Amino acid sequence: MRRPTLAGNHADTAHAVPLRILLGTWGALIFLTWATVAVTNFQLGPLNIVVALGIAVIKSTLVALFFMHLRWDKPFNAIVFVSALLFVFLFITFALLDTKQYQPTLIPGYAPDMPAAATEASPS
């Protein structure tokens, strides 16, 4: 008699994803990485972070769905994944809203100039 395992009702064999799907996902991730780098050349103002986070969410969703096999897993795991994404979105939203609250109290010019600080810290 077989002992029950944590795998539950999964088959004894691994779920094989067709190579076409894996290569398509890899191509999409490469394209989105290129898009992330390309977007840095444009000054979108406050939308810079929104675009960067949007691309990152799409990339993480692709990895979770196809490389982590969530697409073929139980629906409960998809609910957990989506709720985790919503909580991360909520956390980032509150963190960004809080930034607007303390930004007026910052002293202009108080932070050291980054290139000057880098040259001072470099060993001679």
Q: How far apart are CA 83 and CA 86, in angstroms?
A: 5
pLDDT digits (tens, 9 = 90+) for 95-122: 877 776 776 676 676 666 656 655 666 6
Whether 76 is in a domain gets the answer yes
Whether 118 is in a domain gets the answer no
Whether 110 is in a domain gets the answer no
Whether 30 is in a domain gets the answer yes
Q: Shortest CA distance to 64 belongs to which of 82, 76, 41?
A: 82
Whether 58 is in a domain gets the answer yes
Q: Which domain holds residue 86?
A: 19-102
pLDDT value at residue 92: 84
Q: What percent of the chain has pLDDT over 70?
A: 69
Is the pLDDT at 7 greater than 60, yes or no? no
Whether 121 is in a domain gets the answer no
Distances (CA, A) of 48 to 34, 35, 37, 75, 85: 15, 12, 12, 33, 20
pLDDT value at residue 12: 61
More confident residue, 72 or 28: 28
Residue 59 sits at the vertex; the CA angle it makes with 55 and 34, to the nearest 5 degrees, is: 65
Whether 59 is in a domain gets the answer yes
Contact 33, 59 (CB under 8 A): yes
Domain count, the chain: 1
Residue with tokens 């956390």: 91
Q: Where are the alpha helices (DSSP H) in the chain?
A: 19-39, 47-62, 75-102, 114-121
Is the pLDDT at 93 greater than 80, yes or no? yes
Whether 61 is in a domain gets the answer yes
